[in-house]
Amino acid sequence: MNTAAAITALFDKTPRRHNADNVKEINSIIAEYEDLLMHIEGLNAFYENGISPFFDHVEEVKAAVKKSNDNKASKKNKDDYFDNASVALKDSMQSLLLFYGDGKRTV
């Protein structure tokens, strides 16, 4: 599977509803996404220089997922945190697809 297809596959399977299984699923997706980011970063200087905002987005998503799993948070807050994390992750993936292009950009 090429990189763009792998990003699209992760996008398509990113859950939107908060529950214990979806927390595990989104954490797995985040790990795969980070692996893809590292792969893209290693392609050339263009990607290496432009990839850091995507890693920042991942950290924000991780923080929101963690908050969605906080036992002290209300169900509504957990749902909101998870939904925000899911949307932010999908937005990041869409932006990455535009940035990545065909994987051969150098300028």
pLDDT, tens digit, for every residue of 46-92? 999 999 999 999 999 999 999 999 999 999 999 999 999 999 999 99
Contact status, residue 95 vs residue 54, Cβ threshold 8 Å: yes
This prediction has a pTM of 0.94
The token pair at 69 is: 């799993």
What is the predicted pLDDT for the residue at 23? 96
